Structure 1
Amino acid sequence: MTTSRMRLKLVAAACGICLLSAGSASAMGLMQAYESALVNDPTYRSAVSENIAGKEFRKIGRAGLLPTVQYNYGTAKNQAEITQPNPYISIQPGVPTITNNYDYTSLTNTLSLRQTLFSLDTTARYRQGIAQTNYSDALFTARSKDLMIRLVASYADAKYAEDQLDLFRAQRNAFAEQKRINERMFEKGEGTKTDMLETQAKLDVAEAQVIEAQDNLLTVRNTLAAIVGAEVTQLDGLRPDFHIMSVVPASFDEWMNIANENNPEIIAGKYSIEASEEEINKSKAGHTPRLELNASYNRAISDSLVNRSQDQTIKSIGVQLVIPLYSGGYVNAISNQAVANRDKARAELDATRNRILIELRKQFNAMQTGVTKIDALQKSVNSATLLVEATKQSVKGGVRINLDVLSAEQQLVATKRDLAQAKYNYLISFLKLRVAAGNLTMDDLQTVSAYFSPLN
């Protein structure tokens, strides 16, 4: 199945999913968001159209190798007046000239064919067209993978913003509950005014954090909505049984070899150099001869005054040799320009390869360190949760003070927030590593999607 057909099927499936889910557009899973983005994301739609246009380079280049057939038809109403010396002046003295008037219709029909037999320019254009189409396909592949990354990153940002809002609300509620406890203890003479003021200050800050988190959530949801083409008010959350994936292959050198062979941006750079090489061949062909086969069929009726009232049919076939001799330095100039552009394409490929390898190393390291970071933060969350409960009990026993409870609550919220962000970053690094290597597939997106589940 061709890439175009696969893309059409994906779009059709996405349209069906969008229609089926129209009634519940507010709740959106990761795969549903991706299917919607295939239809609605402006950047991806632009890439699709650009790729469709790029595929025509192959046909444009091939056209020069195929025959050109042309048909011409013409008809005209002609009137002519011819004045000439009187050949019968001896018989008609006094009449030095004779004027004749003609009125006739002319008709011409011409069918011509031209076929290139030898042309280095045409051959170079054909090979260049293939390279340009391959470049367009590779670039589209890169942009298709970019859509996955942009979507998952935006989805994770929106979900992380939801998590932050939930955490800040929980913190605010905890402070509000602590405030009520302080007030009851103060009324009984067991608490202090200082405890109430401390709690009120923390509660005010928590209220401000909730408002800020709400604004941030609105912003990231709008960013996601621009990609999926629909308003999003609810997303699937991370599953509680978050597990670590193994990095296969485990060697960075293997990942580097995979990237050099499969990364679509590197492949596109190679095709860009190939197209530039053919541009050099095409420009240098301006000094080489060109051989063409020409054939024509011509029928003319009264095509001229001399041939009026005559019906002529002419058939011809032959070859034409064109040898360029001098073009004012044009060929040398465009050849030098093409060489410079080829060198530029090589330098750009080196820059692209360096950028890709740096990104590959970054994400490879992020996957490895992410495992340790998530494990450490999970332990920290467990400890912080126990600390909050223990501190509350210690306050009742007079060992700890109110400020210790507030600090423990804040530490728990911060640790849960850091853990959530570490998990999202880990999943994004998993995809980015494969994007840099050039082996990201729908199965990888499905793998990440399995980490999310609808909220109960």
Structure 2
Amino acid sequence: MALALCLAALLPLPASAADLLQVYREAQSNDAQFASARAQLAASQERLPQGRAGLLPQINGVAGVTRTKIDQSAPIDANRFLNNKNWALQLTQPLFRWDRWETYKQGELAALAGEVTFSQAQLDLITRTAQAYFDVLAAQDNLYLAGAQKRAIAEQLEQAKRNFEVGTATITDTNDAQARYDLAVSTEIAAQNELEVRRATLQQITGRPVDELMGLRPAADIPGPQPADVNLWAQQAEQTNPQVSLARYNLETAQREYNKARAGHLPSVDLVASYGYQDSSGLIQQQVNVASRYNSAQIGVQLTIPIYAGGQIQSRARETLALADRAASDLEFARRTAAQNARQTFSGVSNGLAQVRALEAAERSAQTAVESNRLGYEVGVRINIDVLNAEAQLFSTRRDLARARYDTIMNGLRLKAATGSLSEDDLVQINTLLTLPPGSMYKLPEPPKAAAPGAKPARTAKRG
């Protein structure tokens, strides 16, 4: 077995095989959800200049042209008119507007929350891509194992037929092998369909088809959680989990919304300045023309004091206070959820590593059982169904082992995602474990060779 693994490690990779890092970078460029998150980040960053605008001067310009016609009952005065042209610029600089200050601080929080949301999208992209990648690997493993099992059963079927022809086995052995072979064909078809589905899911993320992926070395040393203390991971998740950070920003935003509602009772002070020009001309009496042109400038301070708004300000303050209480509860829930997720994923990694070691031992035992049963069948102390059962157990153990490895790796990624520390470097580390062509590790012991013509047939085992 060790020699087979060494030879498998030297096999060249398929030209089209992609590794996890390549697939992730394709996903960065082509995943629609990540592109949406990037656009949302750009939109949220605009909340800061929008909030700042309320504290900066506001300048407005107006211009107009009017003509006024005056009609009276006296016919001699029927054609009187007045033309007016004017323009003006007005500047308003807030001096004290507490609600606008709170809006500005909310804009800062919105920009920070947008960055946290984008960080969460990055973590989700890593975990979604890795999950889709390992789902494809698991489907590839199942297909390779189904094909190998079908070939092994086919060889056992042929041997059972030969033994029946020479009279050293009953028709029951042939029927058992035929039934197992038919089931193996069905399993292989289902595995092929599952692989196509998994590849389509990965293609949805990367935006392009991936025909072949690099597999995981069977003896790969899957890293465990560091530090190996679940409480430290839970504490870190309570502080640095993106959802906790987002809930914290939401709480501060709600508190500032409450302050802004209370500011409805406060006066506002603005600096107001204007400059304008007016040109008036016309006929106001018979043969009497008038013309007036002048510039005007004004500057002053305007104070506005709210007196009564029908109870709207008090109601708004009560509403925003209740929303702030809800945001505080949401923050506490986010902390507890992050800690719980960290504990669960930590347990998944620890138990997964133990399960991998147990299944590796089970694989070695199943491999030995296959060899023993084939040898026993050759010498007549085992029947065909014993060999088929041993092979089925070996393939089942290998499927469970491969799935356990992938699940353990994914739990390790999710553990770091729970603390917000997951990055591309973690994929680089995992990528070093992908060095074998898919399916190259799945080798069965060679079946016993058929007896040469004229040789003494093996003794048929007795059951009972």
Q: Tell me the TM-score normalized by structure 1.
A: 0.88
5+ residue gaps, structure 2: 1-13, 439-464
1:336 aligns with one of 318, 321, 337: 318
1:400 corresponds to 2:368: no
From 50, 58, 71, the equivalent of 1:60 is 50
TM-score between the two structures when normalised by the length of structure 2: 0.87
1:357 partner amino acid: A
Residues 162-199 of structure 1 deviation map (CA, whole Å, 9 limit, x = unaligned): 10111011111110110111111111111210000000
Correspondence 1:414 to 2:396? yes
CA distance in 1 between partners of 2:82 and 2:20 (Å): 78
Letter in 2 for 1:376: A
Displacement of 1:345: 1.2
Query: 1:82 Cα shift?
Result: 4.1
Gap regions ≥5 residues in structure 1: 1-23, 85-95
Residue number in structure 1 paired with 2:350: 368
Query: 2:224·2:412 contact (CA, 8 Å) conserved in 1?
Result: no
CA contact under 8 A between 1:266 and 1:353: conserved in structure 2?
A: yes
Q: Give a deviation string over 1:241-264, Cα, whole Å, max 9, x none.
A: 400314211222221222122111
Structure 2 Cα separation of the partners of residues 281 and 303 of structure 1: 53
Out of 172, 179, 194, the position equivalent to 1:216 is 194
1:83 aligns with 2:72: yes
More divergent stretch after superposition (304-313 vs 53-62): 304-313
Task: Give the alignment of 1:255-334 within 5 angstroms.
Answer: 255-302=233-280, 309-334=291-316
Q: Whole-Å Cα distance in 2 between the matches of residues 25 and 143 of structure 1? A: 32
Q: SS in structure 2 opposite 1:325?
A: coil
**Contact 1:387 1:408 (C-alpha < 8 Å) held by counterparts:** yes
Aligned residue pairs total 421
Q: Which amino acid aligns with 2:262?
A: K
Deviation sequence 1:309-334 (CA, Å, 0-9, x none): 21110011101000001111111121
User: Identity percentage over the alignment?
Assistant: 35
Structure 1 equivalent of residue 9 of structure 2: none
Deviation at 1:366? 1.4
In the TM superposition, 1:42-191 aligns within 5 A as: 42-76=32-66, 78-83=67-72, 98-102=76-80, 105-191=83-169
Cα gap change, 1:189 to 1:61, in 2 (>3 Å): same
Displacement of 1:50: 1.4
Q: Is the 8 A contact 1:161 1:216 kept in 2?
A: yes
1:455 Cα shift?
Answer: 2.4
Q: Distance in 2 between matches of 1:278 and 1:190?
A: 89
Q: Aligned equivalents of 1:327 and 1:45: distance in 2?
A: 45
Q: Please give the root-mean-square deviation of Cα atoms over the aligned residues, in Å.
A: 2.0
Q: Do residues 384 (structure 1) and 366 (structure 2) align? A: yes
Q: Distance in 2 between matches of 1:59 and 1:25?
A: 50
Whole-angstrom CA distance in 2 between matches of 1:37 and 1:127: 35
Structure with the larger RCO, 1 or 2 (CA within 8 Å, 6+ apart): 2
CA distance in 2, matches of 1:412, 1:332: 73
Q: 1:304 to 1:181 in 2, by over 3 A?
A: farther
String of CA shifts for 1:254-303, please: whole Å, max 9, x gaps. 21222122111100100000000011011111111000000111011118
- Structure 1, residues 16-40: CA drift from partner, whole Å, max 9, x if none? xxxxxxxx99643211111111122
Tell me the distance in 2 between the aligned counterparts of 1:293 and 1:79: 34
Change (3 A) 1:332 1:193: same
Distance 2:181 2:283 in 1: 105
- Give distance in 2, aligned partners of 1:285 and 1:345: 21
Deviation at 1:119, TM superposition (A): 1.0
Whether contact under 8 Å (2:26, 2:207) holds in the other structure is yes
- Give CA deviations for 1:337-364 in whole Å, capped at 9, x if unaligned: 1111111111222222222111100111
SS class of match (1:340): helix
Aligned twin of 1:35? 25
> Which residue in 1 is equivalent to 2:448?
none
Q: Distance in 1 between matches of 2:354 and 2:75?
A: 113
Alignment of 1:417-428 (within 5 A): 417-428=399-410
Which deviates more from structure 2 when the two are superposed, residues 417-426 or residues 238-247? 238-247
Q: What code does the residue aligned with 1:80 have?
A: K
Is 1:197 aligned with 2:175? yes
Q: What secondary structure is seen at the aligned counterpart in 2 of 1:319?
A: strand
Partner of 2:422: 440
Alpha-carbon contact 2:224-2:353 (below 8 Å) kept: no
| C-alpha distance in structure 2 between counterparts of 1:275 and 1:344, whole Å | 12
Q: Is the 8 A contact 1:300 1:311 kept in 2?
A: yes
Structure-2 separation of matches of 1:27 and 1:288: 67
SS in 2 for 1:149: helix
CA contact (8 A) 2:81 2:283 kept: no
Among candidates 349, 354, 371, match of residue 336 of structure 2: 354
How much has 1:79 moved relative to structure 2? 4.9
Structure 1's 340 and 273: CA in aligned 2 closer, same or farther, altered over 3 A?
A: same
CA distance in structure 1 between the aligned counterparts of 2:162 and 2:410, rounded to whole angstroms: 48
Q: Note the alpha carbon deviations across 1:5-56, whole angstroms, 9 max, x for none.
A: xxxxxxxxxxxxxxxxxxx996432111111111221211111111111111
SS at match of 2:94: strand
Cα displacement (A) at 1:125? 0.7
State how far apart, in whole Å, the 2-side matches of 1:357 and 1:262 are: 10
Q: Secondary structure of 2:382's match?
A: coil
For 1:274 and 1:194, locate their aligned partners in 2 and report how far apart those are by CA, in whole Å. 76
Q: Once the 2 structures are TM-superposed, how far is the Cα of residue 205 of structure 1 from its aligned partner?
A: 0.9
